[in-house]
């Protein structure tokens, strides 16, 4: 390896995060800083981007693909082989041809995509790290180090293969918004739909709520930017017509459903696997619904769960579910210097025959003494 192509040590590098004050960008800034960079700069709309390029070795675009593309096009003459370029956009199609050209002149480029809302904890979340070409290594190394430090599930692919991720996103967002629009037009809000939901309907509220909870920016980018969007929508329309044509004939309707099951279940039996997985989610919610105890710790460490369960054991409660997930850090916790990786939200399901108000109050008091925050939210 020549001196020109050897990676620069992180402590000698200066990174600029475009959009560094947004949800994704602010997390990227902290992540890069944690890798030991000499300096991490934040570039926002209206700032002199050309100055940032001249002073930086690494550029991370935490903005949408079109904005990243326009900024790179307008400053292309300033880009040098010592630069590494990364982005975190949800769509890659607008960037691919430009990225290939930059790779061909020796600039290291790697595209990334976090498969969840950036404000949520990243532990175990899928992250796609997309290689662009033969010079991707330096930028890819930074991407892997950045996301590995957050315990994400890294999926390394070629940038062309990202179209499969975008396809999945497109169908999910499109179908969920059609679902939401149909309920809206019928005058049936999600809360009332969920209140009378069987297990299947209850599970259907989850992707619908997740989609609506993402707002409009990313979903509209995914739907609008998809090159095959008209083809995809034609297939949705055709499927609706196929269902419409079967509604008045029970036998024909079962044939329609049978074709769907056969197509999706073969050859690996995936329908049955997903059916079982969905049942686990449903059982979890059912067990928590009977009597749920929710609390939060900011001091996660080996053996912590055993300590937290001791008050329940001492009161003779029978646990029906133990559920946990990384918690989203609050502004107050951040100000107090809490490590976001040590925050866990717990939901504990209890057999209602083994709990009463007095026992519940004693458990809460003991958890508070251990530094936990009790959450009185309702499990739906």
CA distance 65 to 102: 16
Task: Note the residue count of the chain.
Answer: 380
pLDDT mean for each 10 residues of the chain (380 residues):
55 96 94 95 94 95 95 93 94 95 96 90 92 95 94 94 96 97 97 93 94 93 94 97 96 96 87 90 84 92 93 95 88 88 91 94 94 79
> What is the CATH classification number for the domain harbouring 323?
3.30.70.260
274-317 pLDDT, tens digit each = 999 898 888 888 888 888 889 999 999 999 999 999 999 999 99
- Structure token pair of residue 62: 């935490």
Residue 92 lies in a domain: yes
Strand, coil or helix: 114: strand
348, 378 contact by CB (below 8 A):
no
Tokens 């067990």 locate to 287
Residue 179 lies in a domain: no
Residue 167 lies in a domain: no
In terms of domains, do 16 and 156 share one? yes
According to DSSP, residue 65 is labeled H
CB atoms within 10 A of CB 18: 25
Which of 112, 145, 161 lies at the terminal end of a domain, its last residue?
Answer: 161
In terms of domains, do 157 and 17 share one? yes
User: What is the domain count for the chain?
Assistant: 2
Residue 366 lies in a domain: yes
For 151-184, give one letter per residue: b (16+ CB within 10 A) or e.
ebeeeeeebeebbebbeebbeebbebbebbeeee
Which of 126, 161, 196 lies at the terminal end of a domain, its last residue?
Answer: 161
For 315-354, give one letter per residue: b (16+ CB within 10 A) or e.
bebeebbbbeebbebeeebeeeebebebbbbbbbbbeeee
Listed residue (178, 161, 158, 167) closest to 222, CA to CA? 167
Listed residue (23, 237, 254) closest to 117, CA to CA? 23
Residue-level pLDDT at 150: 87
Residue-level pLDDT at 92: 95
Helix axes 162-186, 199-213, angle to 10 degrees: 110
Residue span of the structural domain in which 77 resides: 10-161
Residue-level pLDDT at 5: 46
Phi first, then psi: what are they for 9, rounded to 5°? -65, 145
Residue 356 lies in a domain: yes
352-361 pLDDT, tens digit each = 999 999 999 9
Handedness of CA 298, 302, 307, 308 (dihedral sign): positive
Which of 130, 161, 192 lies at the terminal end of a domain, its last residue?
Answer: 161
What's the gap between Cα 214 and its chain centre?
10
> What is the CATH classification number for the domain harbouring 89?
3.40.50.720
In terms of domains, do 153 and 290 share one? no
In terms of domains, do 157 and 27 share one? yes
The DSSP bridge pattern shows strands 39-43 and 344-350 to be unpaired
Residue-level pLDDT at 325: 86
Helix axes 65-74, 217-225, angle to 10 degrees: 70
Give 206's contacts (C-beta < 8 A, 6+ positions apart).
Answer: 281
Listed residue (29, 36, 31) closest to 10, CA to CA? 36
Residue 4 lies in a domain: no
Helix (H), strand (E) at residue 228: none
Residue-level pLDDT at 144: 96
Give 153's contacts (C-beta < 8 A, 6+ positions apart).
Answer: 124, 125, 126, 127
- Structure token pair of residue 122: 């990243």
Helix axes 304-314, 357-369, angle to 10 degrees: 150
Residue 64 lies in a domain: yes
């Amino acid at each position: 390896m020549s001196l020109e192509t050897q990676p620069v040590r992180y402590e000698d590098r200066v990174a600029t995060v475009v959009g560094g004050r947004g949800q994704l960008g602010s997390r990227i800034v902290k992540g890069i800083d944690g890798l030991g960079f000499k300096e991490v700069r934040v570039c926002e709309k209206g700032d002199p981007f050309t100055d940032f390029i001249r002073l930086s070795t690494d550029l991370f675009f935490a903005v949408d693909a079109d904005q990243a593309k326009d900024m790179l096009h307008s400053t292309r003459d300033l880009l040098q082989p010592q630069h590494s370029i990364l982005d975190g956009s949800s769509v890659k199609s607008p960037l691919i041809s430009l990225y290939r050209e930059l790779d061909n002149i020796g600039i290291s480029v790697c595209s990334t995509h976090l498969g969840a809302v950036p404000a949520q904890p990243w532990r175990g979340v899928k992250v796609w790290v997309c290689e662009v070409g033969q010079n991707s290594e330096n930028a890819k190394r930074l991407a892997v180090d950045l996301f590995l430090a957050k315990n994400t599930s890294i999926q390394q692919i070629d940038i062309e293969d990202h179209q499969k991720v975008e396809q999945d996103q497109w169908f999910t967002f499109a179908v969920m918004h059609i679902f939401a629009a149909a309920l809206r037009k019928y005058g049936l809000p999600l809360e009332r739909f969920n209140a009378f939901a069987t297990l299947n309907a209850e599970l259907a509220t989850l992707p619908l709520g997740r989609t609506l909870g993402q707002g409009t920016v990313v979903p509209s980018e995914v739907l609008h930017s998809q090159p095959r969007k008209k083809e995809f929508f034609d297939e949705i329309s055709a499927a609706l017509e196929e269902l419409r044509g079967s509604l008045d004939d029970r036998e024909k309707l079962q044939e329609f459903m049978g074709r769907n099951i056969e197509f999706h279940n073969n050859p690996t039996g995936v329908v049955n696997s997903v059916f079982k997985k969905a049942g686990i989610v449903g059982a979890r919610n059912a067990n928590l619904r009977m009597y749920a105890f929710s609390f939060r710790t900011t001091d996660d460490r080996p053996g912590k769960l055993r300590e937290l369960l001791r008050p329940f054991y001492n009161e003779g409660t029978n646990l029906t579910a133990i559920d946990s997930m990384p918690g989203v850090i609050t502004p107050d916790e951040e100000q107090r210097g809490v490590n976001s990786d040590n925050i866990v939200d717990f939901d504990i399901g209890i057999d209602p025959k083994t709990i009463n108000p007095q026992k519940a109050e004693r458990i809460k008091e003991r958890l508070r003494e251990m530094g936990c925050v009790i959450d009185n939210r309702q499990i739906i």
